[in-house]
Amino acid sequence: MLDKKFIQRKINLIQEELENIAPLQSLPLKKISQDSIKQAALERYLERVVNRAIDINQHILAETDQNQLKSSSQKNIPLTYEETFTQLAKLNVYPLDFAEKISQSVGLRNILIHEYDKVSLASVYSSLQDCLQDYNQYCQYILEFIKKQA
């Protein structure tokens, strides 16, 4: 059974963090690169946004009848974080093309978590606009999905 309060809390946290990083998109890359606090905040907020979405995805998938997932070969097989996004498309939470696009943010998250000494601020900065758009849309899709659930 879906825990709508859990999902709503995670959505609220994603939305707060998107609001916190939105002002950074108006700053030039050079200004952020000269301010280690702004740089760290950008990286950490992006990481947390993606992690919270993965939490939501995993919860929905764990609480969904696996027969609804069109591929029976996927039953009980652990999913990669990217796959959690595409599996939600199979549940008609959002379109597959959106799932394929937003799932790419997991790569950025992995770099931020595991390869933080090799992070290219320019690539993080260049993904900021897409992240803001994609995750605002993601929140809308998830909220619409949970409204439809009994």
Report pLDDT digits (tens) over 53-97.
999 999 999 998 665 655 534 555 558 999 999 999 999 999 999
* C-alpha 79: how far from chain center: 15
Instruction: Determine the pLDDT at residue 100.
Output: 95
Class of domain 4-148: mainly alpha
User: Would you place residue 116 in the very low, low, confident or very high pLDDT band (cuts 50, 70, 90)?
Assistant: low
Report pLDDT digits (tens) over 11-45.
999 999 999 999 999 999 999 999 999 999 999 99
Q: For residue 118, is it left (φ>0), alpha (ψ between -120 and 50) or beta?
A: alpha
pLDDT of 101 > 60? The answer is yes
Instruction: Determine the pLDDT at residue 72.
Output: 39
Instruction: Determine the pLDDT at residue 117.
Output: 73
